[in-house]
Amino acid sequence: MDKIPLCRAALGDEERQAVLEVLASGWLTDGPKTRQLEQDLADYLGVGHAVAMNSCTSALFLALKANDIRGEVLLPSFTFVASANAVATAGATPVFVDIDRRDGNLDPALLEAALTPRTEALMVVHYAGQCCRMDQVRDFVERHGLLLIEDSAETLGGTYEGRPSGSWGVGCFSFFPTKNITTGEGGMLTTNDERLARRVRTLVGHGIPKTTQERSQMPGWFRAAEEPGYNFRLSNLLAAIGVEQMKKLEGLNQARRDNAARLIEGLKGLEGLGLPRENPGCRHVYQMFTITVPGGRRDQLVEHLRAQGIEASVHFDPPVHLHPAYAGQAHAPLPQTEWLSKHILTLPMYPHMGAPALERIIEAIGGFWGHA
């Protein structure tokens, strides 16, 4: 029996041809395809600037570093550790805020209680393909003069009140193979702030304001760093894949939504099983399809599915504040985060799953439910 993977990138002949064309061009590092991917994403989101780089983690880090954030940053603990790592490595202090366990997103009602005189930024993490309640988030940051960073690694194409994830604040996106589009490895920072975009672009390439491609078109060899920087560039080769993926984004996201609808329909009769829901005003793009399992049976169900060749997993257990690196750093109890981390289960989700795979998942969970 073939395995059903947790995820599978939707790559085709277009991506293969794009890579071959870049190989033939001889320009493999940061280059024309990198610029095109930046423009394509900026146009898609309706923002002024997009800066490509090697990962979403780098984007999160530079969103803080380029804004000189050194104080406290509010963010959820229910996230991949990269969110908190970016805060800590940028020299700021993560302050964890609890979530709404119904959707896994940060609960805006808890932000005021977490605020201190040292708070400088809020990092929301749009979970599994659905935006946080951004009207409340926006009101909070505007009242208190805070920087808003959107960890949109899981939500490219998701919207809240018609406005895309990553366009409300400083957007940070991932192009890892599990995400809504991929470049293999890669990320993007988006902003309407021209000054910020310029500084981020400078930091991405060793602190030198001109890109590799721009320097190749200049006479002589002059390269001068304006400040100490990093090598976070995204190659022309990987960006070529992203350019083709952007053309398919809406179709890929719709396929995810269709797959999610079938799983919800097939699983809704199983009493006690918690299914994802699309919140009012949201467009969910299901980067992950997560369910909650009652009665301490989550781990058993994961093993049951894996035994049947269905690669289920868990996102996220433990939550970040229970990682050894962040032990003791929770400033307040996080009961919803800890509850969800012990009940959440991630099922396979990718665009081209096909009806047989979806039915196998539904039948396997139904069989477990009938004998549990």
Q: Which residue has the tokens 């988006």?
A: 190
Name which CATH class applies to 249-371.
alpha beta
Model confidence at 94, pLDDT cuts 50, 70, 90, reads: very high
Instruction: Show which residues are catalytic.
Output: 179
Q: Which residue has the tokens 């293969």?
A: 16
- Model pLDDT, residue 218: 62
Mean pLDDT across the chain, nearest whole number? 96
β-pair partners for 282: 160
- Model pLDDT, residue 258: 98
Percentage of residues in the chain with pLDDT exceeding 70? 97
Please report, for residues 202, 205, 212, 215, the alpha-carbon distance to residue 221 in angstroms, rounded to integers and kept in the order given: 18, 16, 12, 8
pLDDT exceeds cutoff 80 at 219: no
For the segment 157-186, what is each residue's pLDDT rounded down to a tens digit? 999 999 999 999 999 999 999 999 999 999
- Model pLDDT, residue 303: 98
pLDDT exceeds cutoff 70 at 372: no
- Model pLDDT, residue 220: 65
Tokens representing residue 318 in the block:
């433990």
**Cut 0.95: pTM above it:** yes
- CA atoms of 170 and 193, how far apart (whole Å): 9
Spell out the alpha helix ranges (H) of the chain: 13-25, 32-45, 56-65, 82-89, 111-114, 134-144, 194-204, 212-216, 236-267, 298-307, 335-343, 355-371
pLDDT exceeds cutoff 80 at 312: yes
User: What percent of the residues of the chain are helix, what percent strand, and what percent coil, each to the nearest 5?
Assistant: 40, 15, 40
Model confidence at 371, pLDDT cuts 50, 70, 90, reads: low
Model confidence at 217, pLDDT cuts 50, 70, 90, reads: low
For the segment 26-84, what is each residue's pLDDT rounded down to a tens digit? 999 999 999 999 999 999 999 999 999 999 999 999 999 999 999 999 999 999 999 99
- Model pLDDT, residue 101: 96
- Model pLDDT, residue 185: 97
Residue type, 27: W
Pick from 356, 345, 267, 359: which is nearest to 301 by CA?
Answer: 345
For the segment 97-108, what is each residue's pLDDT rounded down to a tens digit? 999 999 999 999
Q: Are 187 and 174 in contact (CB under 8 A)?
A: yes
Residue 299's φ and ψ, nearest 5 degrees, are -65, -35
- The alpha carbons of the chain give a radius of gyration, in whole angstroms, of 21
β-pair partners for 105: 100
- Model pLDDT, residue 197: 98
| CATH, domain range 13-97+105-246 | 3.40.640.10
Pick from 209, 233, 220: which is nearest to 33 by CA?
Answer: 233
pLDDT exceeds cutoff 90 at 85: yes
Write a three-state SS string for 241-265. HHHHHHHHHHHHHHHHHHHHHHHHH
Determine the average pLDDT of the residues in 265-291: 97
Which residue intervals of the chain bear CATH 3.90.1150.10? 249-371
Which residue intervals of the chain bear CATH 3.40.640.10? 13-97+105-246
Classify residue 112 as exposed, middle or buried by CB count within 10 Å of its CB (0-12, 13-18, 19+).
Answer: exposed
pLDDT exceeds cutoff 80 at 13: yes
